[in-house]
Structure 1
Amino acid sequence: MKLKFIAMFLLLTICIFSKEDNSPSKIEAYVKQNTNTNTTATNIYNSIIEHSEKHDVEPELIAAIIKVESNFKQGSKSQVGATGLMQLMPKTARLLKVNPNNVNSNIKGGTKYIAWCLKQNKNNISLALASYNAGIGNVKKYNGIPPFKETQNYVKKVMKEYNDLKG
């Protein structure tokens, strides 16, 4: 009787926790709709998942940052010299020991950096995003989101994308 109960319990557990539909996650679909090839989408998606798990950052937040920073364009470069999907400044990329021109490395660095920003801001996402955009020094100086139009707009845009992805 005990063996029969254990077998039924295991079978039920497997059924509950197995993913049977094989449909893409919301994030995977989001990445695909914002990229031009399946290979690119797969590489970006896998990198988001890998590094968000490693650094304990929601993958929705990483995808939202990439959307706002570079619109999923790998070769993006800003007027001030930030490069790649997560728009890393050269100095930041060096400190994080990543190659900002490599997709996986760029996402690794950007995820590590936003994880640090979250920690510095006690997991307040808006303040972490402001730190990512304007620097932690400016967030501390103004005791909140700095009064820079670019940073204020950036935080709003990323939060909108993030909240849309979270559903």
Structure 2
Amino acid sequence: MILLMAFVTFFVMQQKSVQRTFMFPYEYQEIVQVCCKENNVDEFLVAAVIKSESNFKNNAVSTPGAVGLMQLMPSTAEWIASEMHDNDYSKERLETPEINIYYGSWYLSRLLRDFHGNKILALAAYNAGHGNVEEWMEQYGWDYDFSDISAIPFRETEMYVRGVLRNEKKYIELYGKRE
């Protein structure tokens, strides 16, 4: 009986509808798609970042003070607003899904440009900071073709990058292929 229950549970968990509902939700999908199109960044990568950062909990706040779905630090968001010439920045606005996803997708797009399209470096910078990744590149002789995730010196950042890339793959599988 236990073996049968284990088999049924395994079978149910493999169903895409179950995975979409319980394991890999994609709330705010329309907002993500609009922001990603405007900021020229892949929607499944952004969904994966949101999953890793907040698990789609809009009111998430980290211990260091990162806010919202994409867990932006208020100081980073203020810089993003300045770069975007958005004079209406406020921490309260950052808490809204539309602004948080817009700023976060813009920032991720910027990191991808800064690191020549290298997702690993961009995601590491999203987690550990742009300056840390630049230091690692210089210290360890990494170039823009860097691919050895296990070489990332911060274990938390290494695990973060692995998790986001794993989530991205799952979002592509569950919600559609790229054009």
Structure 2 length-normalised TM: 0.69
Aligned to 1:52: 36
* Equivalent of 1:84 in 57, 60, 68: 68
Q: Is the 8 A contact 1:34 1:72 kept in 2?
A: no
CA shift, 1:30, in A, is: 4.3
Q: Percent identity?
A: 37
Identify which of structures 1 and 2 has the higher relative contact order when contacts are C-alpha pairs closer than 8 Å and 6+ apart: 2
Shift of 1:165: 2.0
Q: CA deviation at 1:150?
A: 0.9
Task: Report how many residues are paired.
Answer: 134
2:24·2:171 contact (CA, 8 Å) conserved in 1? no
Structure 2 spans left out of the alignment, 5+ residues: 1-15, 82-88, 143-148, 174-179
Residue 130 of structure 1, CA deviation: 0.3
- RMSD over aligned CA atoms reads 2.2
> Amino acid of the residue matched to residue 50 of structure 1?
V
For the pair shown, the structure with the greater C-alpha radius of gyration is: 1
Q: Deviation at 1:50?
A: 0.5
User: In structure 2, what is the equivalent of residue 136 of structure 1?
Assistant: 130
Aligned to 1:158: 164
Aligned residue identity for 1:160:
R
| Aligned equivalents of 1:114, 1:136: Cα separation in 2 | 11
- Are the aligned partners of 1:31 and 1:45 in contact in 2 as well (CA < 8 Å)? no
User: Are the counterparts in 2 of residues 85 and 106 from structure 1 also a CA contact under 8 Å?
Assistant: yes
Distance 2:97 2:22 in 1: 15
CA distance in 1, matches of 2:30, 2:72: 19
5+ unaligned residues in a row in structure 1: which ranges?
Answer: 1-25
TM-score w.r.t. the length of structure 1 is 0.73
Give the whole-Å Cα distance in 1 for the aligned partners of 2:129 and 2:156: 13
